[in-house]
Chains A and B, each alone.
Chain A
Amino acid sequence: MKWIALALFAAVALLLPFVAGDFYVNLASQIFIAAIFALSLNLLVGFGGMTSLGHASYLGVAAYLSALMTTRYGFGHGAAALISILGTVAMAAFFGLIALRATGLGFLMITLALSQVLWGLAYRMSGITNGDNGIAGLTRPAPFGISLESPAAFYWFSLLAAIIAFVMMTIFVSSAFGSSLKGVRDQPRRMAALGFNPWMIRWITFVYAGFWGGIAGLLYVYYNKYIHPTSLSTTSSAEALLGVIAGGSGTLAGPAVGATLVLLLKNYASAYVERWNMLLGLVFLFIVLVMPTGIVPGLQKLASRLWRRPS
């Protein structure tokens, strides 16, 4: 039963570009990117207990680096992607050193402050970043000579990336290391007494989450062919966090579901009401007050209740 559903889902996912119009294909690509981003944040929030309000830093910096490398400095896409990811990971390593001096609310405030530095820089260092105008006229890469310009090609590309990301992150949290990460989230003192180094476990996770944030950033800039400081803003970090929490932090599929909902809502809101920030705020209030554990755990609970009833 489960396998049939999975196969059906896979068939739909693979064949979508043949049946749906460009609008929906593009929307789906954006969902994949948002899902990768939310999954990476979930490593911190859900599995590590580190609530970051600065995750847009990694998406934004990778995107800006790729844009700058390919336009300003004339690198090819392959080299630019490598530099962007290395740069983003290095930055995550450094930010982790600072932010992990604190835990809890202190950590949240520091990640927020650090991401605001980058946002401010993107606006103000207009000599490099083009400031409020953003960097336009970017191209998509053509891996192995396959052009990603068409919506369908990009769709398959981002689908593949999302699958790899999901599998890799699932392996990560299920591993022995993932077990210690969850242990450190729940009982850091006990874990230290058992011989685990809580700081190092958090830091490694922080860097790894930064890496996947950077991958999401690359896809983001490839998709939009444009980058603007708002991608580094608190709103951008908050959208991802909302996706994680709405879907269910600390679950594997939850953040992907949550990110999908946030993205659909955002598309709808910006097309019809143009009040995305207000809606985002209201949804935050709603989720935290009404559904604090998220949609996926909520549904699972409901499903298990329905399952048990007949027997």
Chain B
Amino acid sequence: MSTLALEVTALNKAFGGLKVTQGVSLSVRPGERRLIIGPNGAGKTTLFNQISGDLRPNSGRIRLFGEDVTALSPYQRAHRGLSRTYQIITLFGGDTLEHNVTLGLLGLLPSRWQMWRPLSTYRHLVTEARRTLDSVGLLHLAHHSVSELAYGEKRRLELAMALAQKPRVLLLDEPLAGLSNSERATVKALVASISKDTTVVMIEHDMDTALDLAETVTLLNYGRVIVDGERDQVIADERTREVYLGG
């Protein structure tokens, strides 16, 4: 049996009396495309926040490629190959696109502690950043400030920052949210083109688009895993219908 890319075991999290994650377990194989679905308030983003380390679970374990990372800080997880995007866009608005992506690259390098050389003089980082921007179709805007971007372009930049790090596990939190139809198609193609070296776990509401990208699906409701398995199996499952149709 090969090691799992991401393994979550019996995860629990409560805010006061509100249980937002209840005994959640997930197993994601290397290279897998996993979609996490569920109604609003099902605890999807909270689960992501625990996987990325922004929130500490009350109990349970999180493993990345077999290594227990439950007690590690977000930045330590990043250095172990975990990368994520946010549902609410968190970019560096006053800076250029190039700077944003370069900063993303810098995060994993020892040069981030370097105190005398400006970031823009790291030619290889800049080249790499521009290549990544090109891959998401934003190269022509590299020297523009993020605040000048349209919403859909910001979403793509978010993706670029995560992709630039060549993560082993990538968490995408609603990458399609708020996009127009044509933008959706662009981002969908982008996600589809991600190398199989990267395991992708994605939260998405837009099932029409997202299901095409997924191999496996996990349905969450009220902080619990309701159904978990191959895509078609989950879609066909009676319980999925219940959750979505309120039956």
**Touch between chains A and B, by CB atoms below 8 Å:** yes
Residues of chain A at the chain B interface (Cβ within 8 Å): 171-172, 174-180, 182-183, 186-187, 189-198
Closest to B99 in A: A179
B75 and A175 contacting across the interface, CB-CB below 8 Å: no
Q: Is the CB of B54 within 8 A of A189?
A: yes
Chain B, interface residues (CB within 8 Å), range: 20 to 34
B 80-109 to A, binary, CB cutoff 8 A, 1 in contact else 0 = 000110100011111000010001101110
Q: CA A258 – CA B122 in complex, angstroms?
A: 34
B69 nearest CB across to chain A (Å): 13
Contacts of A198 in B (CB 8 A): 75
**Separation of A108 and B94 alpha carbons in the complex (Å):** 25
With contacts A180-B103, A183-B103 taken as known, whether A196 is within 8 angstroms of B75 at the C-beta atoms is yes
| A195→B54 CA distance, assembly (Å) | 12
Q: Which residues of A contact B118 (CB under 8 A)?
A: 174-176, 179
Most buried by A among B94, B99, B107, B118: B107
User: Smallest distance from the beta carbon of A35 to chain B beta carbons, Å?
Assistant: 21
Contacts of B165 in A (CB 8 A): 194-195
Majority SS of interface residues in chain A?
helix
The answer to whether A176 and B122 touch across the interface, beta carbons within 8 angstroms, is yes
Q: How many A-B residue pairs have CB under 8 A?
A: 90
Name the residue in B74, B84, B119 with the highest tally of chain A Cβ atoms < 10 Å from its Cβ.
B74
A190 contacts B86, C-beta separation under 8 Å: yes
For A193, the chain B residues whose CB sits under 8 A away are 52, 54, 74-75, 78, 83-84, 86
Report whether A192 and B73 are in contact in the complex, using a CB–CB cutoff of 8 Å: yes
Q: Do A197 and B111 have beta carbons less than 8 Å apart? A: no
B117 proximal to A (CB < 8 A): yes
Q: A179 near B75 (CB under 8 angstroms)?
A: no
| Complex contact B86–A176 (CB within 8 A) | no
Given contacts A176-B122, A183-B92, contact A192 B78 (CB under 8 A): yes
Would B78 and A177 count as touching, CB distance under 8 A?
Answer: no
* A175-B115 in contact (CB<8A): yes
A-B contacts besides A177-B112, A195-B75, 8 pairs, CB < 8 Å? A175-B115, A176-B112, A176-B119, A179-B118, A193-B75, A196-B107, A197-B75, A198-B75
Interface check B114, CB cutoff 8 A: yes
B143 at the interface (CB under 8 A from A): no
A-B contacts, 19 listed (Cβ < 8 Å):
A171-B115, A172-B115, A174-B118, A176-B112, A176-B113, A177-B114, A183-B92, A183-B103, A187-B90, A189-B90, A190-B91, A191-B75, A193-B52, A193-B74, A193-B83, A193-B84, A194-B78, A195-B107, A197-B73
Q: How far is the CA of A233 from the CA of B79 in the complex (A)?
A: 43
Most buried by B among A177, A178, A198: A177
- In the complex, the answer to whether B106 meets A176 with C-beta atoms within 8 Å is yes
Chain B: minimal CB distance from A200 (Å): 9
Tell me the complex Cα distance, A191–B118, Å: 18
With a cutoff of 8 Å between Cβ atoms, the chain B residues found around residue A177 in the complex are 112-115
Nearest-Cβ distance from residue B146 to partner chain A, whole angstroms: 11
Q: Which of B99, B107, B114 contacts A175 (CB 8 A)?
A: B114
> Chain A nearest CB: distance from B167 CB in Å?
10
A251 to chain B, nearest CB (A): 13
- Are A192 and B75 CB-contacts (below 8 A) given A176-B111, A183-B103? yes
* Distance from B246 Cβ to chain A, minimum over Cβ atoms (Å): 34
Residues of A within 8 A of B93 (CB): 186
